[in-house]
Chain A
Amino acid sequence: MYCSEIVGQALVITLEGEFDLHTAPPFKEHIDTQLHGKPEIINLIFIMSKLTFIDSSGLGVILGRYRIIQERGGQLIFAAPSPQVKRILELSGMQKISKFSNSAREALELI
């Protein structure tokens, strides 16, 4: 499950529950719809405090959306991931292209 809101130049997406092969496609579609036709959105912030599971299918969606905002010169920020989620983000190499923050507010201050 997810919900999103536009805050300034950022799309803030709150993730809840589990993201895998089954739940990744509608998640991808949701973000793409939000980004489509809105070039002013250049940053992506994922609020992860309620994300309980993610695997390479879920991470693949995030990486794909990162490529869109990278072209726009924006940033990718992960806010409040659990230790398990943070570990898999680091293992995937995502920490090289993103920033971590402790909260949504802190994430907005980073951009």
Chain B
Amino acid sequence: MDANWMKLEFPSESVNVQFARTTVAIFASQLDFTLEEIEEIKVAVSEAVSNSVIHGYSASHGNVIMKVKYTPTQFTVSVEDFGRGISDIVQAQESGYTTIPEERMGIGLYFIQEYMDEVSLHSEVGKGTKIVMVKTVKPIQG
């Protein structure tokens, strides 16, 4: 199949972090990704969904919408929440920065940037956050 997509909506419960990354990994296996690339996608999805659960909704609850699509050249995952948003988006992307230093390492976005080829983060305070992560689909060798 040259192109495909799927959409998933689920409540911001921590148990759904594994569900989200496993579902995306199964969807990604329709393409010729290496096992290492699938693992990288899993980490990126895990971090993005965890951010929505911890930072987007914090103690409150809401829904997370995940959209996944691919073309022959790109595999794209977007994770969107409708939580409190990020006030300083530049600071949020600094490796080691976290609003919860006693619990978190502040490296989730760094992992996403390392493991995916293109990342864009959009956020509005009080409205929510959306992260779009793209992995390039490499042509089959030989």
B103 & A92 in contact (Cβ 8 Å cutoff) = no
A22 CB-CB contact with B under 8 Å: yes
Size category, A interface: 10 to 19
Which secondary structure dominates where chain B touches chain A? helix
**30 A-B residue contacts at CB 8 Å?**
A20-B18, A20-B46, A20-B50, A21-B46, A21-B50, A21-B54, A22-B15, A22-B18, A53-B42, A53-B43, A53-B46, A55-B46, A55-B47, A55-B111, A56-B50, A56-B104, A56-B105, A57-B104, A59-B105, A60-B103, A64-B102, A64-B103, A83-B36, A84-B36, A84-B39, A88-B43, A91-B110, A91-B114, A92-B105, A92-B107
Extra pairs beyond A21-B17, A83-B36 (19, CB < 8 Å): A18-B18, A20-B14, A20-B21, A20-B50, A21-B53, A22-B17, A55-B43, A55-B46, A55-B111, A56-B104, A57-B50, A57-B104, A60-B105, A64-B102, A64-B103, A84-B36, A91-B114, A92-B107, A92-B111
Q: Which 5 A-B pairs have the closest CB atoms?
A: A22-B14, A55-B46, A21-B50, A21-B14, A56-B108
**Chain B interface residues toward A at CB < 8 A:** 14-15, 17-18, 21, 36, 39, 42-43, 46-47, 50, 53-54, 102-105, 107-108, 110-111, 114
